[in-house]
Chain A
Amino acid sequence: AQTVTQSQPEMSVQEAETVTLSCTYDTSESDYYLFWYKQPPSRQMILVIRQEAYKQQNATENRFSVNFQKAAKSFSLKISDSQLGDAAMYFCAYRLNAGGTSYGKLTFGQGTILTVHP
């Protein structure tokens, strides 16, 4: 079974600084997606960034980028120029791409609470 681990329950960063959230995962599959979701106090899960396992180039979305190390099964999220609105719970998630019963469902890490200080 696939597992996702976020070892940092809480992180904090000063506004305008850079912070990196860690995520490791375990899978024997080769075709999968990894995601970072943001959950603010409103509970709405928002997709921040996604990475396809077959793509070696790290994904980037504006101030958000990932460091995807497939061999090490590591998928960290870097937030540059942190803003107050980035404060939220961040979840790392895994999704298999193959057919079968596990197709589509997300396996989540435990989450990291990010606090942004002004």
Chain B
Amino acid sequence: GAGVSQSPSNKVTEKGKDVELRCDPISGHTALYWYRQSLGQGLEFLIYFQGNSAPDKSGLPSDRFSAERTGGSVSTLTIQRTQQEDSAVYLCASSSPGQRTNEQYFGPGTRLTVT
């Protein structure tokens, strides 16, 4: 079956602009995660959605970052007023928490470059 997909693959934006990154999880996976991979900070957790529960936003670095998940499927990560330090690869993952292993399957990521 289809894996996790993300779009766009690459995004170049000017400082101060808003960007939206999209994630399509594996069908039937109720949990969805966003991570950020940057040179300075490594791989860090951003936000986690599980079914209809309130999302865990504890990893969002500032209020310029937000995410939503519509219909329990597709998720959009929005970064407002982008800064150069937002340049990174944004990875999305999904899992089926009904299984104890709760293995996360990752998408190919979106590389964001803020100029």
Binding site for B on A (CB under 8 A): 33, 37, 42-47, 50, 91, 95, 97, 101-111
For B100, the closest partner residue in chain A by CB is A97
Residues in chain A near residue B18, CB distance under 8 A: none
A52–chain B nearest beta-carbon distance, Å: 8
**Count of chain B residues with a beta carbon within 8 Å of a chain A beta carbon:** 28
For A97, the closest partner residue in chain B by CB is B100
**B76 adjacent to chain A (CB < 8 Å):** no
Secondary structure dominating the interface of B: strand
**B42 adjacent to chain A (CB < 8 Å):** yes
Complex interface bits, B90-107 against A, C-beta within 8 A gives 1, otherwise 0: 010101010011111111
Q: Is the CB of B103 within 8 A of A50?
A: yes
Secondary structure dominating the interface of A: loop
Q: Is the CB of B50 within 8 A of A104?
A: yes
A88–chain B nearest beta-carbon distance, Å: 13
Residue pairs across A and B with Cβ atoms less than 8 A apart, 27 shown, are: A33-B101, A33-B102, A37-B106, A42-B108, A43-B91, A43-B109, A44-B108, A45-B93, A47-B103, A47-B104, A47-B105, A50-B103, A91-B43, A95-B102, A97-B100, A101-B56, A103-B50, A103-B97, A104-B104, A105-B48, A105-B56, A105-B59, A106-B33, A108-B42, A108-B44, A111-B42, A111-B43
> A111 vs B50: C-alpha distance in the bound complex, in angstroms?
27
> A44 vs B105: C-alpha distance in the bound complex, in angstroms?
9
Given that A47-B103, A91-B43, A95-B102 are known contacts, is A104 also in contact with B97, CB under 8 Å in the complex? yes
> A17 vs B58: C-alpha distance in the bound complex, in angstroms?
42
**B89 adjacent to chain A (CB < 8 Å):** yes
Residues in chain B near residue A107, CB distance under 8 A: 45
Residues in chain A near residue B108, CB distance under 8 A: 42-44
Q: Is the CB of B45 within 8 A of A106?
A: yes
Q: Is the CB of B100 within 8 A of A104?
A: no
> A102 vs B106: C-alpha distance in the bound complex, in angstroms?
18
Complex interface bits, B39-83 against A, C-beta within 8 A gives 1, otherwise 0: 000111100101000001011000000000000000000000000
Residues in chain A near residue B50, CB distance under 8 A: 103-104
A90–chain B nearest beta-carbon distance, Å: 12
